[in-house]
Structure formats: C-alpha cells, structure tokens
Amino acid sequence: MSPRAIYLPVVNYGTSDEYRYWTNKCPIFYNNLLVSPFTTGRNRSRKHFNGEKLKIYADSGGFQTVTMNKRVASLNVLRWQQRIAHTAFTSDIPPHHFSKNYTKDQFLKCMYQSNKNANLMWEFNKDYDMQLYGVIQGRTYNELKMWYEDLTKDHDYDGYCISLSNNKSDTDLYWLEQLHFASTIPKRIHFLGKSDRLFNAVLSIFAQKQNQCYTFDSSSSNIGGRFGKYIHPITETHLSLSKYESQRDNIESLPCNCPICSKHSLDDLINTTELINLHNLYVKISFCKFANIVSTDDELFKIILKKVIPRNKHRKTIETQVQKLLGLGSMSSSYENSEAIAKIQVKIDESKDLTDFDKEFLKWFTVKFMDLKV
Ligand SMILES: [Zn+2]
C-alpha cells in the first residue's frame, strides 16, 4: 500500500443494519474500523463483521480494565481482541490518569506496569494470527523514548500505538513531539485519539516523508447521534441540527454533496441522527483522502496547511514547527490558487482507489475548500 494516513472511526455497533457502514446494506461503505470493548461491545466478534475487505483494529478499552485485576483483565481483553480484530493494541495505564502534570515517579510506575501487561499479552499472542501493537505513552520525546526502550528491551512488536489524549490544549501542539519520536521507528504506528484536520494533514505528509502508512482515530463522527452535531463539509465547524427551531443553527438546506445529503432533506437528518453520523463519517473519510492526495506534492501541502491551522496567535509558531518536522523550505507555495486546484483535480482523476462518486465529491470539495480565506 502506498504511504498514507488512514482514518479509523470508532465503531458503535448499536445501530440498525442500514446504518452499518461496514456492510453493503449501507449507502456508505468503509473498511477500516476501530473497535473497543466498551463502545462496540465485548459480545461482538469477527462474525458480526463478515466482510473480506474489512481491517479491524481493536483498542484495549482504556486503563479501567488494567487497574482492576491487571493480569486477568489484560488477558480477557486479549482474548476478545483475538476473536474480533486483525490488529490489536496492548493494555496500558496512562500516566496522565494521575494528572496532566504527573511526576517522574508516577510516569515510571505506569510505564513498568503497562509494559508488564504488554509483555504478558505478547506472550499469549505469539501463536495467533493477530498483529499486536505496543502502546507508548509520553509528553516529550525523551519520555516516549524511555517508554519505548523499556517496552522493547526483550522483543519488538508488530507496530506501535502512541496515545495523543494526554493534553487537550489546542494552542500547544504537543503531538509534534510524538511525530518527531515516531520518525525514529521504522514500523507502522497508530495515533490514538486525535483526528482534526491539522493533525490529519500533517500526518498525511509525514507518511509520505517516512514512506509508511499510519492510522489515527476518533469517535467524532458519532457526535451526530449523541449531540445532533453536523460537521460542515468545507469548514469542519460543528452545526447544531435540532428538532427545535430555537436550538438549531441558522441552516435552511444541507451544504453538502455527500451520498447522504444529496439524497436526504434537512428534516430527514434532523429526525434520524444516524444519517448525521454517516454524513460526518463521509466528511472525515473524504478529508483524509484529500489530504493524502495533496501530500504527494509539498507545494500543494503548504497551501492546505495554511487553511487548516487555527486562526489564533499561535499560527506562526505552529507553521514553523511543522516546517521543521517535515524539513520543508519556504512555507510559501510556488503555486497560485487556480493552478493548485487544477493540479489537485488531475490527481483526483488519476487516483485508482476512488469511486466515480468519490471523485466528483472531492472535486466539488476542492473548489469550495480552496476558496476558504486564510
Ligand atoms: Zn453530507
């Protein structure tokens, strides 16, 4: 597979057949999935996901499982992962469960216990046909390195999983440390718990530079079902679609050409939140495809980066950090906007893994997105 970023939506199995996007009964089909014991359900197994093209990744379900009875819990999780997934992540205890400002002692305590669990899972998975990724935690390059070296002192893993959920601040781009560290590991890596457009775009070009495939996830498409939130296809802002006029954002028709919005009315979506989830999912998947396409050309990426960096006082710092990470020269693109649009559209047309519908959608998206002011 050519280098790319691959988005994994967190599967909520509790939807009816027609909204299960991993089957051909649903108007949207997507084959890369992240399952978790709590969201997807411990009683689900691969037979609930019959489809040859599916690639199922299994989370361990968070540190709750390993803080109870560690050995039993880790192996129970592993048995479930072996029944359902092609690739699974080890159980870990994130140091930030103490606090965001955890101490070195707290970090080491979590690291030793997590790596003990990971080794146990590795031992019991040796003879199975499932890939096991070792989870790595850390705020800084040095913490990540220390955790990784302890995790791999006896053997390595099929891949690694780096948690990005330890800091919610949007001004401090902590995940650049994680990507910097990831550049030293020549294996596939999953980035846990982050999927905004800035991260997606940077991960796509990082994949090109590293000649590697990386996965990342979030449960954000499910905000349709949970909160009635509709992701704007161009700006990614979250609009509120509510049954109650007074609580609804000022929206009269759906601003989107996706397979859901092009066949349904605003009222349909308001009355069936699963349709909002599917629209949201399509928007997330499409942006990921778009980011992979533009990332094959540094000059195109520079234009996209300016459009996805948040408009705040940290813009310049973020741009400089990304430039340094990726070894890019001047951050001004040598392309004019219209030239960039034409180049992207050619790449979309030439892309072999897009359906005709996806190509039309992405070309429509490109024109609107490139029109956004920076
Ligand atoms: Zn839509």
pLDDT in tens, 272-322: 989 999 999 999 999 999 999 999 999 999 999 999 998 888 888 889 999
Are both 180 and 285 inside the same structural domain? no
Helix (H, G, I), strand (E, B) or coil at 92: coil
Amino acid identity of residue 181, one-letter, is F
Closest CA to 135 of 72, 197, 210, 191: 191
Contacts of 232 (CB under 8 A, 6+ apart): 238, 239, 255
Are both 44 and 165 inside the same structural domain? yes
Terminal Cα distance for the chain, rounded: 33
| Distance of alpha carbon 90 from alpha carbon 121, whole angstroms | 7
From 205, 223, 241, give the residue that closes a domain.
Answer: 223
Are both 314 and 215 inside the same structural domain? no
If one counts the domains in the chain, the total is 2
Are both 219 and 322 inside the same structural domain? no
**pLDDT for the residue 103:** 95
| Distance of alpha carbon 88 from alpha carbon 59, whole angstroms | 6
**pLDDT for the residue 193:** 86
Q: How far is the CA of 278 from the centre of ligand 1 (A)?
A: 8
Burial class (CB within 10 angstroms; exposed 0-12, middle 13-18, buried 19+) of 175 = buried
Are both 217 and 255 inside the same structural domain? no
Tell me the whole-structure pTM to 2 decimals: 0.95
- Domain presence at residue 313: yes
CATH of residue 23: 3.20.20.150
Amino acid identity of residue 208, one-letter, is Q
Q: How far is the CA of 280 from the centre of ligand 1 (A)?
A: 7
Are both 328 and 182 inside the same structural domain? no
Q: How far is the CA of 303 from the centre of ligand 1 (A)?
A: 24
Helix (H, G, I), strand (E, B) or coil at 302: helix
Q: 84: domain range?
A: 4-223
Q: How far is the CA of 281 from the centre of ligand 1 (A)?
A: 9
Contacts of 66 (CB under 8 A, 6+ apart): 60, 73, 74, 91, 92, 93, 113, 114, 117
Are both 363 and 276 inside the same structural domain? yes
Q: How far is the CA of 270 from the centre of ligand 1 (A)?
A: 13
Are both 90 and 14 inside the same structural domain? yes
Q: How far is the CA of 231 from the centre of ligand 1 (A)?
A: 8
Low-confidence ranges of the chain (pLDDT < 70): 62-71, 165-172
Strand partners, 159: 133
Are both 16 and 148 inside the same structural domain? yes
DSSP per position, 237-295: -EEE--SSGGGS-S-SS----STTTTTS-HHHHHH-HHHHHHHHHHHHHHHHHHHHHHT
Are both 63 and 194 inside the same structural domain? yes
- Domain presence at residue 235: no
Q: How far is the CA of 275 from the centre of ligand 1 (A)?
A: 9
Q: How far is the CA of 236 from the centre of ligand 1 (A)?
A: 12
Are both 214 and 309 inside the same structural domain? no
- Domain presence at residue 12: yes
**pLDDT for the residue 217:** 94
Are both 17 and 136 inside the same structural domain? yes
Contacts of 241 (CB under 8 A, 6+ apart): 228, 229, 230, 248, 249, 251, 266, 269, 270, 276
Q: How far is the CA of 230 from the centre of ligand 1 (A)?
A: 9
Q: How far is the CA of 342 from the centre of ligand 1 (A)?
A: 24
Q: How far is the CA of 162 from the centre of ligand 1 (A)?
A: 31
- Domain presence at residue 37: yes
- Domain presence at residue 83: yes
